[in-house]
Amino acid sequence: MQGSDSLYKRMATQPMFKEAAVDSELEHKAKRVSDKYSETVNIIANEPSLAFFRIQEHVRKTLPQLVDQKHEVEDIQAKVQGTCLMLIMLPML
């Protein structure tokens, strides 16, 4: 049993994994990749809400103009219908 005891002591005192020397360049590159990935995920997550905000902004700016144009078209349509009706009725008089 003496042989197995010394093996146990050696295994218990030695680290299981050897620590690798930290490469500062590798660490810098890993941090850059992590930061860029985080930024990209953040942009992708917020892009739909930004798009909806831009659409809402556009609608608020253009809606009053569209309403005015709609009223103009309705007025012109009423005038055209009145004129057409007069042209139809005129020969009968």
Return d(Cα 75, Cα 79) in angstroms, integer: 6
Return d(Cα 72, Cα 54) in angstroms, integer: 28
Domain boundaries, the chain: 23-92
Q: Residue 46: which pLDDT band, with cuts at 50, 70 and 90?
A: confident
pTM strictly above 0.95: no
Q: Is the pLDDT of residue 32 over 90?
A: yes
Return d(Cα 10, Cα 42) in angstroms, integer: 49
pLDDT in tens, 49-69: 888 999 999 999 999 999 999
Per-residue pLDDT at 56: 95
